[in-house]
Amino acid sequence: MQDDILLSRNSFGQGSKEVQLSLKKDDKKKEITYKLDEQKLSAEEESKVYIQFFKKLKKIMMKNNTSLKQMQTPLNLPDTVDGYPFEITYELAEDGYIRLDGSINEEEQAKLKRGETYRTYIVVTARYGEYRKSKKYEIGIVPKKNISKTNVFYKIQQYLKKEEQENRYSRDIKIPSVYKDIEITKRQENQGGISGILILFVTVSIFIPLHNYLKLQEEGKKCQEQAERDFPVIVHLLTLYMGAGLSFFSAVKRISQNYQKQRELDDSKKYAFEKMMRMEQQMSNGVSQREACQDWGMQFRTDSYQKLSLILIQSFTKGSKEAAMLMEAEEREAFYKRIDRAKKEGEEASTRLLFPMILLLCQVMLLVMYPALTRFQGF
């Protein structure tokens, strides 16, 4: 009687497994590698795994909020969830209330009245090999609450303020050392030169990082403004190349190559095109178009690039015909925004020139009136 050999597969999510086997017949021997795919789930097991996965993902997405239908602060949109092998992608509503990084459009949120809730959604797709499952989450955005009065020290601060007002005619004020289970102590006043040195040290320690931070903020603002000016050009080039039959990767590669040639000639860098070159390098290194495009959109804090990234991601699944219509509509909108921006910059330029024009007018008036004044003084 021959003994059977027991081979064990990897569990779901652990990938395939290779087993080395030795074959022998008479004097002939051979070593082979036997591949065992991971254990496949039954329909019941698959349903159970997805239920547990989406339940855990929902808690992660809520972050600091109590419910997805009462969102006050940004969501957390992870790419993976610990304990599950799924790759996660998100499809957002086109209203622009939620961005790809999970942040909420604060300008739109500030418009909401107390008790009002804005309804939107996020479609989550989990993929792993042949497994694929999508789930739509209803999202409710509510105004941010002012929680200052709920602070545990708010009442005692009001009490101390009242005591100070009631004893305005007394030089000394007595307050309890314990008020409603809260201990009150008086800090000792520091004297001498040590306090001055400490204040100087703290001031310098705060000023230097603050100066660097403000400088970075200013540079970041300049980059964002430059990216907004280049946005209509990028939309036009993508629409032109993709409409001519090029794939998304080929269109991005062509734009990057033309930008590199221009940069070598005038030695000028443009923030949006630099990020596009980075996206092209990612796709060349094997990153999927969806992931690279999503990462590119998250580099910008403006709604225009977030929306363009979302349109491109949707075009990968909806087909080239519908993508072309969406891109043409976005190109028209970008063109009108470019006209409005040019008008706004022209108005700002005329305002900046107003003061120099007043100075020139004063000089002209002085040149005209000076001879007359000196002549009158001679009489």
Residue 108: the pLDDT is 84
User: Look-up: residue for tokens 């063109």?
Assistant: 335
Strand 182-183 to 178-179 pairing: antiparallel
CA atoms within 13 A on the CB side of 46: 12
Torsion of CA 135, 141, 147, 150, to 10 degrees: -60
Over 60: is that where the pLDDT of 198 sits? yes
Residue 17: the pLDDT is 79
CA atoms within 13 A on the CB side of 301: 10
Distance from C-alpha of 142 to C-alpha of 71, rounded to nearest angstrom: 6
DSSP code of residue 26: T
User: Look-up: residue for tokens 């040639």?
Assistant: 261
pLDDT top residue among 300 and 284: 284
Q: How far is CA 22 from CA 1, 26, 27, 35, 282, in A?
A: 20, 13, 13, 14, 42
Over 80: is that where the pLDDT of 132 sits? yes
Residue 320: the pLDDT is 60
Over 80: is that where the pLDDT of 252 sits? yes
pLDDT top residue among 78 and 204: 78
225's CB contacts (< 8 A; 6+ apart) are none
Q: What burial class does residue 20 get, using C-beta atoms within 10 Å of its C-beta: 0-12 exposed, 13-18 middle, 19+ buried?
A: exposed
Residue percentage of the chain with pLDDT more than 70? 89
pLDDT top residue among 273 and 326: 273
Distance from C-alpha of 298 to C-alpha of 101, rounded to nearest angstrom: 6
Strand partners, 126: 88, 133
Distance from C-alpha of 280 to C-alpha of 278, rounded to nearest angstrom: 5
Distance from C-alpha of 258 to C-alpha of 243, rounded to nearest angstrom: 18
Distance from C-alpha of 304 to C-alpha of 289, rounded to nearest angstrom: 19
Distance from C-alpha of 371 to C-alpha of 251, rounded to nearest angstrom: 69
Q: pLDDT class for 1, splitting at 50, 70, 90? A: low
254's CB contacts (< 8 A; 6+ apart) are 241, 246
Per-residue pLDDT reduced to its tens digit, 145-193: 754 544 567 677 777 888 887 877 777 788 887 777 778 887 765 544 5
Residue 147: the pLDDT is 45
Strand partners, 23: 30
Own/partner long-range contacts of 24-27 (Cβ < 8 Å, ≥24 apart): none
